[in-house]
Each structure stands twice: as structure tokens, then as C-alpha cells.
Structure 1
């Protein structure tokens, strides 16, 4: 019997195209604190970090980052009621996850800068209950790129680092994966550029989420 392997997935920018609601929630948060909103590029550059760390980066250590993180949480969940700000799955995500779930040699996990509440909303919305062997959130470990989320996922599933891979769209995902000693796969369609992903340790870049499965098999055969 083949040994169990673990594929750990980022959420925003990898599974879900959440950029519209993220950018709007950030803009409203900045205005609520009397500050000019960042550019769209700047807004998306910190996606993947935990909220306190993200706002610390955006406004600096001396800025009101802690209060802004709380405001953002309130803005984000309020905006979920706005039908014009969708958070659709990227093409091929649903079918590919179903294929991954049928593999007896694979377990699926999540490691995300979202809160556990945010992940629970997504899982319920998509009917993904029971799909993930491990779910690591910003509530459970230090912010990416610290390897804590991955190390906890490995411990929970009993999978060794060489038998695990991280799939994400951000440099934080790639740095986290390499720090934990697991494979790092970047996706080109998310919030960070391909060059940056390669610079931070991506072994492979895929252009479509369905390409993740053959890429994983190729890495583990190498």
C-alpha cells in the first residue's frame, strides 16, 4: 500500500477569487480610520498574512494596525451581503478537489490567513464538510510565512515533510513551504507575480488549478 501524502491548499487567490471583496473591505477600513486607501496592487500584496500582520505592513508599526484589523473583520463580513462582490471559485477548483478527495493515497488540507470563521463560511457554502483532513487558519498559528501552520498540519495527519506539498498564490505560501521542508507549488492566476513566486522558492508554477494533480504526481515521482 502506498504511503499517505498531503496536499495543503491556500484559499484566497488559490481556491477562491476574493480580490473584489478584499480590496473593498480594505478601502472602507482605511476611510473609517481617516486614511487614504492603498492601491489595488498594494491591497492584494499582503493577502495571505494574518490580519494584524497585514495591517502592520500596510500602515507601519506606529499606525493603528490592531484597530484596523478589527474594523476590517467587521467590514468584510458586512460586505458578504453585497451581491455585487462575489467570491467565486477559480475554474476547475470544484472538480479537481473532488478528484483529489477520491485518491486513497492523498489527504487534503488548508493553510490560510483567513480566520476559522471565514473558512467555516466557505466550507459550508461549498458543501465541503469532511473534505479536509486538516484546516489551519490565522487563529491557530503564527502568520505566514512562519511554518507553524504546515508543521501543525503534518502533525495532525502524520505525514512526513517530504510527502507533503503546499499550493498557493503568494510568496508567503512559498516561503512557508520551504521553511517547513515541503514541496512548494505556485499558481500564476492569483495575487502575486510568477517571478516573485519563483524567487521565494516555488519549484513549479501552474496556470490552472486542475494542473495541480499531475504536478504533484510528478514531484513525488522525481
Structure 2
């Protein structure tokens, strides 16, 4: 079920009605894991291996899902708040190794969520400028770009390698700038409260998707302008 928080039909790109941002945007920025790609099983398995390698008890799934979207070191600081920074760094390296190994073993597909491929095609055809802002590494994102045939599809690919962790707005602002747009012309689409908070910090609109890692209530509490339960609802907002 679509959950709106004041969205209204637009009267032009970036228009507002009664102070409420409109539905149609020239720049559409997506998160990756949990929004475009179903990588939950791979993330959870890699985190378990990382903690086992570090001789620590793996965190429960609910906690791991809550940190998806943060940079690795920040995520480890949340998962192991009593550890020193050096251990957070070591855990992050263990995670990278485990993730790469699991991906190479081919046990986890990192498939697109149903309907995402078609939505990207339609947005592109409609002249929307598409970008990605993700907590993934550049290497990890480039793997998915190649895997899913996204070469040339996105005008900007922003990753955690060169930006502060979400919810800092730097990567989103860079993506919007690369597209030649302004924050009021852009919408961020993501599955975590960090995506929503990043959009709000950048003065962009935010749509939360409920099929990822954070519960809808967390997305709404973070300030999402709308929360959608499937790609059909997302399409209705982006291509009115």
C-alpha cells in the first residue's frame, strides 16, 4: 500500500504546491543494496564470516540489516561499540574478504528486484537522469554495473570510497551535480533511514521502499515523502 506524506501532482519540473514538493523529478537517484538489488543473503553471510574470522560472536540479522547503508567502518562501530577503531578496521577488512569470496563462489545471485530493470528502462526513455548513491565500494558497484548491463545507464555513480558515510549528503549532492541538476529537481530512492536522512540533508525529495532492510516506520520517521511497497507504486510516483 502506498503511503504518501504530502506528495501532490506537479505543475512543472521541481514545482511545489502549498509548499509540498511535486511528484515528477528530472534527477532520480537510487540506493543500490536493498533498493535495486537483492543482496541481503550475501551481506548477511559475509558479515557472519567476518565476525567468525575475528573470533567474535556474529551479530543477529536484525542488527546487520539496521546498519546496511553505512560505510563499513561506521557499520562495525555500531555493531561492536565497545571495540577500538583498530578492531573496526580489521572487521571491515574481514568483511570485504568474505564478501568477495562468497561472490566468487557464486552462492548468492544479487538479482534485481522484480520490475526494477523495466522501471530503469522506462525512466531512461522518459528522459530522467539516473544516478546511484550507495554505501558500497566502487569495486562492488562496478561489478553490479557489469553484471546487470548498466554501462551508460547512470550519469553518476557515487560510492563510499570517496564520500562520508550516509546520512551525510555529500554523495547525493555530487550525484545531482553530475546530472546538472539542483536538489529541488531531484528525488532519492532508498530502503534505509540513512537514505531518507541523506535526502533531507541535501534538500531533495525522498521515497522509501519497503522491500529492503529498514521497516516502513523507520523510513517515515526519517522524513520520507512517500513509502512504497512495490515497483508498480514507485513507477506511479516517478512517471505520473
Give the TM-score of the pair, scaled to structure 1.
0.93
Of 67, 70, 95, the match for 1:49:
70
* Gap runs ≥5 in structure 2: 1-11, 14-24
Partner Cα separation in structure 2 for residue 83 and residue 158 of structure 1:
38
Question: Mapping of 1:59-138 within 5 angstroms?
Answer: 59-60=80-81, 62-63=83-84, 64-104=87-127, 106-138=128-160
Q: Secondary structure at the match of 2:171?
A: helix
RMSD: 1.4
Q: Secondary structure at the match of 2:37?
A: coil
Partner Cα separation in structure 2 for residue 108 and residue 210 of structure 1:
18
Q: Secondary structure at the match of 1:38?
A: coil
* 2:197 alignment counterpart: 175
**Is the 1:20–1:86 contact (alpha carbons within 8 Å) kept by the matching residues of 2?**
no
* Gap runs ≥5 in structure 1: none
Partner Cα separation in structure 2 for residue 179 and residue 201 of structure 1:
10
**Is the 1:93–1:210 contact (alpha carbons within 8 Å) kept by the matching residues of 2?**
no
Which 4+ residue blocks in structure 1 deviate beyond 3 angstroms?
Answer: none
Partner Cα separation in structure 1 for residue 124 and residue 232 of structure 2:
13
- The number of aligned residues is 216
**Is the 2:123–2:239 contact (alpha carbons within 8 Å) kept by the matching residues of 1?**
no
**Is the 1:113–1:138 contact (alpha carbons within 8 Å) kept by the matching residues of 2?**
yes
Shift of 1:84: 2.9
Partner Cα separation in structure 1 for residue 82 and residue 207 of structure 2:
31
Higher helix share: 1
Give the TM-score of the pair, scaled to structure 2.
0.86
Shift of 1:154: 1.9
- Deviation larger for 62-71 or 38-47: 62-71
Partner Cα separation in structure 2 for residue 135 and residue 191 of structure 1:
21
Partner Cα separation in structure 1 for residue 132 and residue 179 of structure 2:
12
